[in-house]
A = this chain, B = another copy of it.
Amino acid sequence: MPRQGSTANGRRATVVDVARLAGVSTATVSRVMNRNYPVAAATRERVEEAMRELGYVVNAHARALAGVSGRTVGIIISDVVDPFYAYIARGVEREATAGGRLCLVCSTQGDPQRELAFIELMHERRADAVILVGGSVADRGYRTELERRARELDAGGSKLVLCGRPSLGKDAPTVGVEYDNEGGAFAITDHLLAEGHERILYLGGPPGLSTTKERIAGHRRALEQRGLPRDPALVQPGAFSRQFGHRRMTELLRDGPEFTAVFAANDIVAAGAAQALEEAGMRVPQDVSLVGYDDVPVAQELRPRLTTVHIPLEEMGRQAVRVALAGGDEDDWRAPTTGTLRLGTHLVVRDSVAAPRVVRRRRG
Protein backbone atom coordinates (compact mmCIF):
# COMPACT_ATOMS: atom_id res chain seq x y z
CA MET A 1 0.00 0.00 0.00
CA PRO A 2 1.50 3.32 -1.05
CA ARG A 3 1.99 5.90 1.63
CA GLN A 4 -0.91 8.27 1.62
CA GLY A 5 -0.10 11.53 -0.09
CA SER A 6 2.22 10.04 -2.65
CA THR A 7 2.13 7.89 -5.71
CA ALA A 8 3.41 4.36 -5.87
CA ASN A 9 6.95 5.41 -6.61
CA GLY A 10 7.08 7.94 -3.79
CA ARG A 11 6.62 11.18 -5.70
CA ARG A 12 4.02 13.64 -4.66
CA ALA A 13 0.84 13.19 -6.60
CA THR A 14 0.28 15.61 -9.49
CA VAL A 15 -2.62 16.43 -11.74
CA VAL A 16 -1.36 13.80 -14.12
CA ASP A 17 -1.62 11.13 -11.47
CA VAL A 18 -5.06 12.23 -10.50
CA ALA A 19 -6.15 12.37 -14.11
CA ARG A 20 -4.84 8.91 -14.80
CA LEU A 21 -6.47 7.41 -11.75
CA ALA A 22 -9.77 9.07 -12.50
CA GLY A 23 -9.56 8.24 -16.16
CA VAL A 24 -9.85 11.82 -17.35
CA SER A 25 -7.55 14.50 -18.72
CA THR A 26 -5.55 16.97 -16.66
CA ALA A 27 -7.73 19.76 -17.93
CA THR A 28 -10.70 18.15 -16.30
CA VAL A 29 -8.87 17.77 -13.05
CA SER A 30 -7.98 21.43 -13.18
CA ARG A 31 -11.59 22.28 -13.85
CA VAL A 32 -12.92 20.42 -10.88
CA MET A 33 -10.38 22.06 -8.63
CA ASN A 34 -11.11 25.54 -9.78
CA ARG A 35 -14.87 25.11 -10.20
CA ASN A 36 -14.67 27.68 -12.93
CA TYR A 37 -16.03 25.52 -15.65
CA PRO A 38 -18.84 22.99 -15.94
CA VAL A 39 -17.95 19.38 -15.22
CA ALA A 40 -20.37 16.46 -15.15
CA ALA A 41 -21.31 15.48 -11.63
CA ALA A 42 -20.19 11.89 -12.10
CA THR A 43 -16.83 12.95 -13.48
CA ARG A 44 -16.33 15.42 -10.70
CA GLU A 45 -17.08 12.70 -8.23
CA ARG A 46 -14.49 10.38 -9.67
CA VAL A 47 -11.87 13.09 -9.77
CA GLU A 48 -12.46 14.13 -6.21
CA GLU A 49 -12.25 10.53 -5.13
CA ALA A 50 -8.94 10.16 -6.93
CA MET A 51 -7.58 13.30 -5.32
CA ARG A 52 -8.56 12.03 -1.93
CA GLU A 53 -7.07 8.65 -2.55
CA LEU A 54 -3.79 10.11 -3.71
CA GLY A 55 -3.67 12.79 -1.02
CA TYR A 56 -3.33 15.28 -3.80
CA VAL A 57 -2.47 18.87 -2.88
CA VAL A 58 -2.22 21.38 -5.68
CA ASN A 59 1.14 23.05 -6.16
CA ALA A 60 0.67 26.77 -5.67
CA HIS A 61 3.93 27.53 -7.45
CA ALA A 62 2.96 25.71 -10.58
CA ARG A 63 -0.38 27.38 -10.48
CA ALA A 64 1.15 30.81 -10.01
CA LEU A 65 3.56 30.14 -12.81
CA ALA A 66 0.73 29.18 -15.06
CA GLY A 67 -0.66 32.60 -14.62
CA VAL A 68 -2.96 32.85 -11.66
CA SER A 69 -2.09 35.33 -8.96
CA GLY A 70 -0.17 34.01 -5.99
CA ARG A 71 -2.66 35.80 -3.76
CA THR A 72 -0.12 37.01 -1.31
CA VAL A 73 0.47 40.32 0.33
CA GLY A 74 3.67 41.14 2.10
CA ILE A 75 4.05 43.37 5.11
CA ILE A 76 7.29 44.77 6.43
CA ILE A 77 7.40 46.02 9.98
CA SER A 78 10.12 46.57 12.45
CA ASP A 79 8.91 44.23 15.20
CA VAL A 80 5.88 41.93 15.55
CA VAL A 81 5.86 42.35 19.29
CA ASP A 82 5.51 46.10 19.27
CA PRO A 83 1.76 46.77 19.57
CA PHE A 84 1.92 49.69 17.16
CA TYR A 85 3.00 47.31 14.43
CA ALA A 86 1.05 44.36 15.71
CA TYR A 87 -2.26 46.18 15.34
CA ILE A 88 -1.45 47.33 11.85
CA ALA A 89 -0.36 43.81 10.99
CA ARG A 90 -3.65 42.54 12.30
CA GLY A 91 -5.54 44.86 10.00
CA VAL A 92 -3.44 43.77 7.05
CA GLU A 93 -3.81 40.13 7.90
CA ARG A 94 -7.56 40.36 8.30
CA GLU A 95 -8.15 42.27 5.13
CA ALA A 96 -5.82 40.01 3.19
CA THR A 97 -7.54 36.90 4.49
CA ALA A 98 -10.92 38.38 3.72
CA GLY A 99 -9.74 38.70 0.14
CA GLY A 100 -8.50 35.12 0.09
CA ARG A 101 -4.87 36.08 0.33
CA LEU A 102 -2.04 34.93 2.53
CA CYS A 103 0.17 37.30 4.44
CA LEU A 104 3.94 37.24 4.39
CA VAL A 105 5.47 39.06 7.35
CA CYS A 106 8.99 40.38 7.72
CA SER A 107 10.59 42.11 10.68
CA THR A 108 13.52 44.40 10.08
CA GLN A 109 14.45 45.59 13.57
CA GLY A 110 14.49 49.01 11.97
CA ASP A 111 17.26 48.19 9.52
CA PRO A 112 16.64 49.96 6.17
CA GLN A 113 18.85 47.50 4.33
CA ARG A 114 16.65 44.65 5.43
CA GLU A 115 13.62 46.57 4.27
CA LEU A 116 15.06 46.74 0.82
CA ALA A 117 16.05 43.11 0.85
CA PHE A 118 12.59 42.05 1.94
CA ILE A 119 10.88 44.09 -0.73
CA GLU A 120 13.03 42.27 -3.23
CA LEU A 121 12.08 38.91 -1.76
CA MET A 122 8.38 39.65 -1.90
CA HIS A 123 8.78 40.83 -5.43
CA GLU A 124 10.40 37.55 -6.33
CA ARG A 125 7.36 35.82 -4.91
CA ARG A 126 5.18 38.10 -6.94
CA ALA A 127 3.24 39.43 -3.98
CA ASP A 128 0.14 41.33 -5.02
CA ALA A 129 1.22 44.17 -2.78
CA VAL A 130 3.95 44.98 -0.34
CA ILE A 131 3.19 47.17 2.59
CA LEU A 132 5.97 49.08 4.24
CA VAL A 133 4.98 50.18 7.73
CA GLY A 134 6.30 52.87 10.02
CA GLY A 135 8.45 55.96 9.85
CA SER A 136 11.68 56.29 7.93
CA VAL A 137 14.73 58.45 8.15
CA ALA A 138 15.41 60.78 5.26
CA ASP A 139 18.34 59.31 3.38
CA ARG A 140 19.16 60.14 -0.19
CA GLY A 141 20.56 56.78 -1.20
CA TYR A 142 17.91 54.78 0.54
CA ARG A 143 15.15 56.84 -0.99
CA THR A 144 16.51 56.24 -4.44
CA GLU A 145 16.76 52.53 -3.90
CA LEU A 146 13.25 52.41 -2.54
CA GLU A 147 11.92 54.31 -5.49
CA ARG A 148 13.63 51.94 -7.87
CA ARG A 149 12.00 48.97 -6.15
CA ALA A 150 8.66 50.73 -6.28
CA ARG A 151 9.02 51.09 -10.04
CA GLU A 152 9.98 47.48 -10.51
CA LEU A 153 7.04 46.38 -8.44
CA ASP A 154 4.74 48.66 -10.35
CA ALA A 155 6.04 47.43 -13.68
CA GLY A 156 5.10 43.95 -12.57
CA GLY A 157 1.64 45.01 -11.55
CA SER A 158 2.17 45.07 -7.79
CA LYS A 159 2.00 48.05 -5.57
CA LEU A 160 4.25 49.36 -2.85
CA VAL A 161 2.19 50.82 -0.02
CA LEU A 162 3.70 53.34 2.35
CA CYS A 163 1.87 53.02 5.63
CA GLY A 164 2.55 55.75 8.16
CA ARG A 165 5.52 57.07 6.29
CA PRO A 166 5.98 60.00 3.93
CA SER A 167 5.46 59.70 0.21
CA LEU A 168 8.43 59.24 -2.09
CA GLY A 169 7.21 62.06 -4.29
CA LYS A 170 4.48 62.62 -6.81
CA ASP A 171 6.14 60.63 -9.56
CA ALA A 172 6.96 57.48 -7.60
CA PRO A 173 4.42 54.72 -8.27
CA THR A 174 3.44 54.13 -4.67
CA VAL A 175 0.29 54.51 -2.75
CA GLY A 176 0.01 55.60 0.87
CA VAL A 177 -2.02 55.37 4.04
CA GLU A 178 -1.22 57.86 6.74
CA TYR A 179 -2.67 59.15 9.96
CA ASP A 180 -2.76 62.70 11.17
CA ASN A 181 0.38 62.48 13.19
CA GLU A 182 1.12 66.17 13.42
CA GLY A 183 -2.47 66.95 14.30
CA GLY A 184 -2.53 64.47 17.15
CA ALA A 185 0.63 65.92 18.62
CA PHE A 186 -0.82 69.38 18.29
CA ALA A 187 -4.02 68.36 20.03
CA ILE A 188 -2.41 66.66 22.97
CA THR A 189 0.10 69.45 23.51
CA ASP A 190 -2.69 71.94 23.40
CA HIS A 191 -4.52 69.89 25.97
CA LEU A 192 -1.53 70.21 28.28
CA LEU A 193 -1.27 73.91 27.53
CA ALA A 194 -4.92 74.43 28.30
CA GLU A 195 -4.33 72.95 31.72
CA GLY A 196 -1.71 75.59 32.33
CA HIS A 197 1.52 73.76 31.57
CA GLU A 198 4.20 75.90 30.00
CA ARG A 199 7.27 73.75 30.28
CA ILE A 200 6.64 70.43 28.58
CA LEU A 201 9.34 67.84 28.10
CA TYR A 202 9.18 65.90 24.82
CA LEU A 203 10.70 62.50 25.46
CA GLY A 204 11.81 59.75 23.10
CA GLY A 205 11.40 58.78 19.47
CA PRO A 206 14.38 58.17 17.19
CA PRO A 207 15.70 61.55 16.04
CA GLY A 208 15.47 61.95 12.31
CA LEU A 209 12.63 59.47 11.99
CA SER A 210 9.71 60.96 10.09
CA THR A 211 7.32 59.95 12.84
CA THR A 212 9.33 61.83 15.41
CA LYS A 213 9.66 64.90 13.24
CA GLU A 214 5.95 65.10 12.67
CA ARG A 215 5.11 64.70 16.32
CA ILE A 216 7.58 67.35 17.33
CA ALA A 217 6.25 69.62 14.60
CA GLY A 218 2.72 69.34 15.98
CA HIS A 219 4.02 69.88 19.46
CA ARG A 220 5.82 73.05 18.41
CA ARG A 221 2.92 74.41 16.48
CA ALA A 222 0.80 74.19 19.62
CA LEU A 223 3.48 75.98 21.61
CA GLU A 224 3.78 78.70 19.01
CA GLN A 225 0.08 79.19 18.76
CA ARG A 226 0.04 80.09 22.42
CA GLY A 227 3.08 82.28 22.03
CA LEU A 228 5.31 80.03 24.12
CA PRO A 229 9.05 79.81 23.44
CA ARG A 230 10.62 76.55 22.36
CA ASP A 231 13.38 75.39 24.62
CA PRO A 232 15.76 72.92 22.93
CA ALA A 233 16.61 71.43 26.29
CA LEU A 234 13.01 70.29 26.51
CA VAL A 235 13.14 67.98 23.54
CA GLN A 236 14.92 64.75 24.27
CA PRO A 237 14.52 62.25 21.47
CA GLY A 238 15.80 58.71 21.82
CA ALA A 239 14.39 55.28 21.19
CA PHE A 240 10.76 54.19 21.10
CA SER A 241 11.40 51.92 24.05
CA ARG A 242 10.32 51.51 27.62
CA GLN A 243 13.92 51.26 28.63
CA PHE A 244 14.80 54.58 27.07
CA GLY A 245 11.83 56.25 28.72
CA HIS A 246 12.87 54.94 32.08
CA ARG A 247 16.55 55.70 31.84
CA ARG A 248 16.32 59.14 30.33
CA MET A 249 13.53 60.23 32.61
CA THR A 250 15.61 59.17 35.58
CA GLU A 251 18.58 61.17 34.36
CA LEU A 252 16.49 64.20 33.60
CA LEU A 253 14.85 64.13 36.99
CA ARG A 254 18.32 64.29 38.47
CA ASP A 255 19.87 67.00 36.34
CA GLY A 256 17.61 68.08 33.56
CA PRO A 257 15.66 71.24 32.88
CA GLU A 258 12.52 72.20 34.76
CA PHE A 259 9.21 70.95 33.43
CA THR A 260 5.71 70.31 34.72
CA ALA A 261 4.58 67.85 32.10
CA VAL A 262 6.02 65.10 29.94
CA PHE A 263 4.91 64.32 26.40
CA ALA A 264 6.28 60.85 25.75
CA ALA A 265 6.83 60.02 22.08
CA ASN A 266 4.62 56.96 22.49
CA ASP A 267 2.83 54.98 25.17
CA ILE A 268 5.68 52.55 25.66
CA VAL A 269 8.10 55.36 26.40
CA ALA A 270 5.45 56.79 28.71
CA ALA A 271 5.36 53.51 30.62
CA GLY A 272 9.10 53.73 31.21
CA ALA A 273 8.85 57.37 32.21
CA ALA A 274 6.02 56.56 34.58
CA GLN A 275 8.19 54.05 36.34
CA ALA A 276 11.03 56.55 36.69
CA LEU A 277 8.63 59.11 38.08
CA GLU A 278 7.27 56.57 40.52
CA GLU A 279 10.74 55.61 41.66
CA ALA A 280 11.61 59.25 42.19
CA GLY A 281 8.58 59.62 44.38
CA MET A 282 6.77 61.92 42.00
CA ARG A 283 3.06 61.48 41.62
CA VAL A 284 1.24 61.64 38.29
CA PRO A 285 -0.61 63.89 37.72
CA GLN A 286 -0.28 65.85 40.95
CA ASP A 287 3.45 66.49 40.66
CA VAL A 288 3.86 66.07 36.93
CA SER A 289 1.47 65.37 34.10
CA LEU A 290 2.26 62.66 31.58
CA VAL A 291 0.87 61.90 28.14
CA GLY A 292 1.73 59.39 25.45
CA TYR A 293 0.88 58.62 21.85
CA ASP A 294 -0.64 55.63 19.95
CA ASP A 295 -3.26 54.49 22.45
CA VAL A 296 -2.08 50.92 22.68
CA PRO A 297 -3.32 48.66 25.51
CA VAL A 298 -0.65 49.61 28.02
CA ALA A 299 -2.18 53.09 28.19
CA GLN A 300 -5.13 51.60 30.00
CA GLU A 301 -3.08 49.56 32.40
CA LEU A 302 -0.93 52.34 33.73
CA ARG A 303 -2.08 54.05 36.93
CA PRO A 304 -3.15 56.70 36.50
CA ARG A 305 -4.52 55.66 33.15
CA LEU A 306 -2.68 57.44 30.40
CA THR A 307 -4.04 60.33 28.37
CA THR A 308 -2.87 59.75 24.83
CA VAL A 309 -3.60 60.10 21.12
CA HIS A 310 -5.58 57.40 19.40
CA ILE A 311 -4.45 56.14 16.01
CA PRO A 312 -6.73 53.85 13.99
CA LEU A 313 -3.97 51.29 13.61
CA GLU A 314 -5.94 48.26 12.57
CA GLU A 315 -7.93 50.34 10.14
CA MET A 316 -4.73 51.60 8.59
CA GLY A 317 -3.67 48.04 7.97
CA ARG A 318 -6.97 47.21 6.34
CA GLN A 319 -6.92 50.28 4.16
CA ALA A 320 -3.36 49.59 3.15
CA VAL A 321 -4.35 46.38 1.48
CA ARG A 322 -7.53 47.80 0.02
CA VAL A 323 -5.81 50.73 -1.49
CA ALA A 324 -3.08 48.53 -2.90
CA LEU A 325 -5.47 46.12 -4.51
CA ALA A 326 -8.05 48.62 -5.72
CA GLY A 327 -8.30 48.61 -9.48
CA GLY A 328 -5.25 46.46 -9.70
CA ASP A 329 -7.36 43.78 -11.26
CA GLU A 330 -7.45 44.89 -14.84
CA ASP A 331 -5.60 47.32 -16.99
CA ASP A 332 -7.43 50.50 -16.33
CA TRP A 333 -4.90 52.98 -17.50
CA ARG A 334 -6.56 55.74 -15.58
CA ALA A 335 -6.35 53.97 -12.22
CA PRO A 336 -4.32 56.30 -10.02
CA THR A 337 -0.92 54.77 -9.62
CA THR A 338 -0.29 57.04 -6.70
CA GLY A 339 -2.24 58.82 -3.98
CA THR A 340 -2.49 58.91 -0.23
CA LEU A 341 -5.27 58.12 2.16
CA ARG A 342 -5.14 60.04 5.41
CA LEU A 343 -6.94 58.84 8.54
CA GLY A 344 -7.67 60.96 11.57
CA THR A 345 -6.31 60.71 15.09
CA HIS A 346 -7.92 61.96 18.25
CA LEU A 347 -7.15 62.79 21.81
CA VAL A 348 -8.12 60.26 24.46
CA VAL A 349 -8.39 61.97 27.80
CA ARG A 350 -7.80 59.75 30.80
CA ASP A 351 -6.26 60.47 34.18
CA SER A 352 -2.65 61.44 33.75
CA VAL A 353 -3.04 65.17 33.28
CA ALA A 354 -3.81 67.86 35.85
CA ALA A 355 -2.94 71.51 36.28
CA PRO A 356 0.69 72.10 37.19
CA ARG A 357 1.36 72.61 40.84
CA VAL A 358 5.00 73.10 41.56
CA VAL A 359 7.75 73.92 39.15
CA ARG A 360 10.19 71.04 38.98
CA ARG A 361 13.62 71.50 40.45
CA ARG A 362 16.13 73.79 38.76
CA ARG A 363 18.85 72.39 36.59
CA GLY A 364 21.97 70.57 37.80
Contact = CB atoms under 8 A, between A and B. Distances in A.
Contact of A61 (B104, B125, B297): B125
Interface string A269-310: 001000000000000000000000000011001110000000
A279 to B, nearest CB: 12
A58 B124 contact: yes
B103 A97 contact: no
Nearest to A71: B121
A106 B106 contact: no
Interface stretch (A4-12, A37-45, A134-142, A194-202): A4-12
Given A60-B125, A155-B4, A155-B6, A107 B94 contact: yes
Nearest to A6: B155
B102 A103 contact: no
A90 interface: yes
Contacts of A59: 65, 124, 126
A90 B83 contact: no
Given A61-B64, A126-B60, A5 B55 contact: no
B107 A106 contact: no
8 contacts: A4-B152, A12-B156, A55-B155, A57-B152, A60-B61, A60-B126, A80-B80, A81-B87
Contact of A103 (B64, B81, B105, B125): B105
Contacts of A61: 60-62, 64-65, 70, 125-126
Interface in A90-131: 90, 93-94, 97, 102-107, 120-126
Given A5-B151, A6-B155, A105-B105, 18 more contacts: A4-B148, A4-B155, A6-B156, A12-B155, A57-B124, A59-B65, A59-B126, A60-B61, A61-B61, A80-B80, A90-B107, A97-B106, A102-B104, A102-B122, A102-B125, A103-B104, A271-B301, A301-B301
A168 interface: no
A224 interface: no
B57 A151 contact: no
Among A6, A70, A124, A148, which residue has the most Cβ atoms of chain B within 10 A?
A: A124
A170 interface: no
Contacts of A255: none
A107 B102 contact: no
B55 A151 contact: yes
Contacts of A121: 60, 102
A79 interface: yes
Contacts of A104: 102-105
Nearest to A10: B155
A3 interface: yes
